[in-house]
Structure 1
Amino acid sequence: MQASTFPNLSANVDVVVVGSGIAGLTAAVVARALGRRVLLLEKTAQVGGTSATSGGAAWLPGNRHVPAETDPEAPMTYLAHLVGERMDAAQVRAWLEGGIEAVDFLEQHSSVRFRLYGGADYRTDVPGAGIKGRTVYPEPFDDRQLGKAYKLIKNPLPAITVFHGMQTDSRDLAQLSAALQSPGAFLYSARRLFKHYSDLLLYGRSTRRQRGNALIGMLLKSALDSGVDLRVNAPFIRLIQDAGRVSGVVFEENGVRQEVRAGAVVLASGGFSGDPVMRAAHTAYAAEHIGLPPESNVGDGLRRAMDVGGRMAQGNVSDYCRAPVSVLRRKNGEVVKHPHFRLDRCKPGAIVVDAHGRRFVNEACSYHDFVMAMHAAGAVPAYLIGDQRFLRKYGIGLVRPFPFPYRSFVREGYLVQAPTLAALAEKLGIDAAGLQASVERLNGYARTGVDLEFRKGADIYSRGDGDPAHGPNPCLGEIAQGPFYAVRLYPGDSSTTCGLVTDTHARVLDADNAPIPGLYACGVDMNNPSLGTHPAAGCNLGPAIAFAYRAARHIVDSAGTPSAASQNAKPARAKSEWTGAGAAATLD
């Protein structure tokens, strides 16, 4: 195939990266920092993918931001107990060691800055679990540093912003919630709100990016400043293979197919969450399953890797990072999805039941384990219920706590309201006697502080997501003050975890477990080393960063000293001048 190129695109580069989430951007930034010419392809008009809408947390034990471990082997012990004999110890070791190196490298050679996320691992009943925190997430990022290129960043989910698009992190949420109880929290909240609304007046947006959006912003700045050649609206078509070695890609730009040769290709295209055919093959309740990642994540990288001999992993505990999701369907056709990670169901005064009105899970367990329990109990949908006091204090799903209004959500059918529990059960179509009996038992547990059925609030992790000002158990409260409210919860996911089988360098392996020369995979295009057990916050982005770094290092180390042209390559376009040259995008 005759190559045709646009300005600034050579027919030959050192590395092609497919996908612009945190994994793809990390691989591109590291390879470029090590002197390689890098082409980064993104199929949509904006970068970030699932990562841009994520919490931005990365489980990377041992890095310099997290508390030192008394036992350095504790993270390995923890994962070994969770995953069992199927665990690939070498792969997990590469994750843990690569994560430490990746954090140091990125903070030394890019604009990325991390800080401690904190919080216990999800299974504190398992040997080796971390209590003080093994997870990091990004510092806030001022997107004015990007010039016009700020428009390239995919926006966060509207459901997890407040006050007309203000992004928040855990500190913001804690301070905003306590603004009327603490002078310090009030001053902090006032400063944040003043900055936010000043930004809206001056720039038409909030310039303070947080969580996954901040990390994408930092990586994008690093990529553009260093000369990574970024192409948006440039879907990946196929891999080029010569004598068994992957030696380039074919992609499409402005309706024209392009061919570019490369020493290596890194696949980080975002997994298959948006593909209904693959969903049906990888999860129960596929028809009810609601994916949070972009619908464009349809397994492009996975399929093209299988075309050249790669293979998908089998036998994971779960092929998704799962999360319960509620959905608002507006009359204009807009669909708003809300992930119930931790802000409502973990708080005192919440109960979740099945169609029989019975509890089936510790409401404050991890979001992944929550959906696994939904599957096991056949609770699809499930019903998250609270009373008037609970709604106004903590909110439910898309409904924010006082002083935010909530009646529009009732009118739109998202929030179901009734004067009594029996009337609420009738509206939901569930068993009224079962619901009333479940609430009566839970109210008794709230008074004693001990949940005899599901131990809500008995473990360190769930207590951390409760209300520390509430006693005797921060996760248990009575449900008694009508009217009563409910939202329907459906099984969903924040990403896939089943991907290509790779080695410790992120090289894609064939049916004989031999590396396919020149082909790498990271992010959720690579099978998660935890095999879908979901051990802690950030157990998707953690290996994504670690193996993106390891892939780039291996590509560079295998190729030897970079050419003078690669070392001296200048940025194709300055950050303030980036217009997507050669792509169907403009930032004017």
Structure 2
Amino acid sequence: MSETYDVVIAGSGAAGMAAAVRAQDLGLTVLVLEKAHKFGGTSATSGGVLWIPNHGLGTDDSREETMRYLDGVIGGPVRRDRLEAFVDEGPNMVRYLQSIGMQLQVMPWSDYFSEAAGARADRSLVCPMYDGRKLGRELHVMREQFTRFKLLNRYTMDFGEAFGISSKAPGWKRQLACVVGRYWADLGTRGVTRRDRLLSLGGALIGPMRKRLLDRGVEVRLGATVKALEVTHGRVTGVEIEHLGQRRIIGARHGVVVCAGGFEWNQELRNHYFSLPGDTTWSSTPEEANRGEVLQAGLDIGADVEFMETGWWVPTMRRPIDGVSNFDEIHQAVFDVGRPHSVCVNRNGDRFVDEACGYDRFGNAMIQDQLKTGMNAPCWLVFDAAFRRKFTAGGYMPSPIMPDRKIAPDHWDHYIFKAPTVVELAKKIALDPGKLQQVVAKMNEYARTGVDPEFGRGSTDYDRSFGDATVKPNPNLGPIDQAPFYAIQINLGDLGTKGGLKADARARVLDTQGRPIPGLYAAGNASGSPFGNCYPGAGGTIGPAMVFGYIAANDIAEHARAARLTSQALTSVSD
């Protein structure tokens, strides 16, 4: 082997970077491999939120409250030791991040099952906006945010700005002017690139993590795809990669950590494992990024898998890329589906869920309805002119920012539908006009009373936190009565897969007999979720990803120290 490191990490997202920084700080040599030509993985394009309960950042959360919540909301099988390892090591990982200068802010977001015992609104952490100039030239090879997280595909916004502008909250015009103004005032960056140097959301997490790797001299090798795992005498001792069209083997003295994401862009694996396969193009992760290559490499050496039937679900919609109409782009409709003045129906014209619930719960409801009726996935979001003025609808900004006349002609009646009456809209989208009229009439009555007797929309803290406080008596229920009326198709999208290589509480990958495979670790969406099919709160993907990356580095360092002491003892005896 021409190259050998103590630790080789596949994947440059949050899990891989957490493992890499920690391993380097514990005295190990590290190489990070990234198959894409930009680093950051799905994490860089995400919201960058970490769900870390009992994190110790000024709240009174506790381990007991955390376990009470998780035990109440996890409906399927999980492994207790792995779940408890996440809960116990999460605070330690947070303290470590603080010790290396990472800034973390507590966000007042309700857990996704806010009605459950032990739920709180302070377990999600984010990083403040980060100045990308600190990365130097590395800024240009960092994966860029999707257009859905940038204003007009140009301007960086933090969470407060994004929510304020998209919902036209009080002071939204001032926020808009600030966002646009600071971009154009940055003359130095404008002379080099169109890209905003300020990094927010996932970029605000990945940017400073990459800076810490740079400071430690850790290489992130781009365009390097792991094709196979090298095994010597039953131990994983390296990886075979393809880089610049050539294959080579890179050695790993003490461990390989698989952090290369899931398999949501592999239709064959989706068809084989998912209970409802859906389509790769519904996914909201970077196109063709996570195809499960390292998952397959693990299977090839006898690794086991778990929770492969499901993903981290999120409602999405498609629309053409602005200025490139032959190519579609995926947009999330995370909060849009639960805003007032709207309703979601399946292709029979029936409601099937509290539309304002957490996006993963929404996706699971789509699956259950599809399996029951065969008329969901995709479904429809129907809304009126009042909604259109106030809120986003997938990739369509509110009408004060994106009036109907600014929507390209080829979008109409293909991606977004519009009609002067509910009946005519129903005919356009192949729904029973009478039934859609009845559903809208019911929603209007629910808006008047403030009570949704069918699904309880607007009855939980989570629902209400993303409603419209100006709408009374229920912020999630507004009448659907202002013409014209609109509809967009909602797909069963995802933020990645919940299933992957089966790993234990120490992040060690297990074989089909339940035994750890020496030298092989996994974290993030490359491994099975510690929550099974549950999505407990905002950051429920990245939080565990970083915690188990941290755990993997600790375990590798412990074994490396033990091996070193054994070697020293043997040398002493031989002398």
Q: Tell me if TM exceeds 0.5.
A: yes
Query: Which residue of 2 is the match for residue 160 of structure 1?
Result: 149
Alpha-carbon contact 1:362-1:456 (below 8 Å) kept: yes
How big is each residue's C-alpha offset from its partner over 1:182-206, in whole Å with a ceiling of 9 and x where there is no partner? 4xx6555433321122236344321
**1:324 Cα deviation (Å)?**
1.1
Within the candidate set 243, 248, 255, 1:253 is matched to: 243
1:180–1:254 distance in 2 versus 1, CA, 3 Å: closer
What is the match of residue 448 of structure 2? 447
Q: Which residue of 2 aligns with 1:197?
A: 184
**Preserved contact between residue 66 and residue 136 of structure 1 (Cα < 8 Å):** no
Question: 1:340 is matched with which residue: 323, 333, 347?
Answer: 333
Once the two structures are superposed, the pairs formed by residues 199-238 of structure 1 within 5 Å of their partners are 199=186, 201-203=190-192, 204-238=194-228
| Corresponding residue for residue 567 of structure 1 | none
Report how far residue 282 of structure 1 moved.
2.7
Query: What amino acid maps onto 1:92 in structure 2?
Result: L
Deviations 1:220-274 (A, max 9, x none): 1111221112210111121111111111112122222222211210001111011
Relative to structure 1, is the Cα distance of residues 172 and 77 closer, same or farther in structure 2, using a 3 angstrom cutoff?
same
> What is the deviation of 1:129?
1.7
Note the C-alpha offset of 1:179. Answer: 7.0
What displacement does 1:165 show? 1.9
Q: CA deviation at 1:506?
A: 0.2
- What's 1:86 paired with? 77
Letter in 2 for 1:504: A
| Distance in 2 of aligned mates of 1:180 and 1:376 | 35
Return the match for 1:49 from 41, 48, 51: 41
Percent of aligned pairs with the same amino acid = 34
CA contact (8 A) 1:179 1:189 kept: no
Gaps of 5+ in 1: 5-10, 564-588
Q: What is the aligned partner in structure 2 of residue 577 from structure 1?
A: none
Per the TM alignment, residue 333 of structure 1 is displaced from its structure 2 partner at its CA by 2.4
Q: How many residues align?
A: 547
Tell me the residue number matched to 2:230.
240
**Aligned-partner SS, 1:252:** strand
Is residue 75–residue 534 contact of structure 2 (8 Å, CA) maintained in 1? no
Describe how 1:562-573 pairs up with structure 2 within 5 A: none
CA contact (8 A) 2:278 2:492 kept: no
- What does residue 165 of structure 2 align with? 176
* SS of residue in 2 equivalent to 1:536: coil
Instruction: For 1:19-38, list aligned pairs within 5 A.
Output: 19-38=11-30
Distance 1:12 1:292, change over 3 A: same
**SS of equivalent residue, structure 1 residue 334:** strand
Does the aligned pair in 1 maintain the 2:530–2:544 contact within 8 Å? Answer: yes
Measure, in 1, the Cα distance between the counterparts of 2:358 and 2:167. 24
Matching residue within 78, 91, 97 for 1:106 = 97
Q: What SS is found at the alignment partner of 1:345?
A: helix
1:344-493 correspondence runs (5 A)? 344-378=336-370, 379-401=376-398, 402-407=400-405, 408-409=407-408, 411-412=410-411, 413-493=414-494
In structure 1, the partner of 2:512 is 511
Q: Which residue in 1 is equivalent to 2:263?
A: 272
Q: 2:245, 2:96 → 1: CA distance?
A: 38
Q: Distance in 2 between matches of 1:209 and 1:451?
A: 40
Counterpart in the other structure of 2:137: 148
C-alpha separation between the residues in 2 aligned to 1:177 and 1:423?
A: 28
Change (3 A) 1:281 1:179: closer
Answer whether contact 1:66 1:133 (CA < 8 A) is retained.
no
Q: Over aligned residue pairs, what C-alpha RMSD do you find?
A: 2.0
Find the aligned partners of 1:341 and 1:65 in 2 and give their Cα distance: 27
Q: Pick from 4, 13, 29 the counterpart of residue 12 of structure 1.
A: 4
Match for 2:301: what amino acid? Answer: V
Q: Distance in 1 between matches of 2:138 and 2:213?
A: 11
Q: Give SS of 1:107's match.
A: helix
Counterparts of 1:50 and 1:239 in 2: how far apart (Å)?
A: 23
Does the 8 Å CA contact 2:72/2:117 hold for their aligned counterparts? yes
Find the counterpart in structure 2 of residue 301 from structure 1: 294
Whichever residue aligns with residue 522 of structure 2, its letter is A
Q: Who is 1:282 aligned against?
A: 273
Give distance in 1, aligned partners of 2:409 and 2:353. 26
Indicate the larger mover: 190-199 or 494-503: 190-199
Q: Is the 8 A contact 2:418 2:487 kept in 1?
A: yes
* Secondary structure in structure 1 of the residue aligned to 2:492: strand
Gap change, CA 1:410 and 1:75, over 3 Å in 2: farther
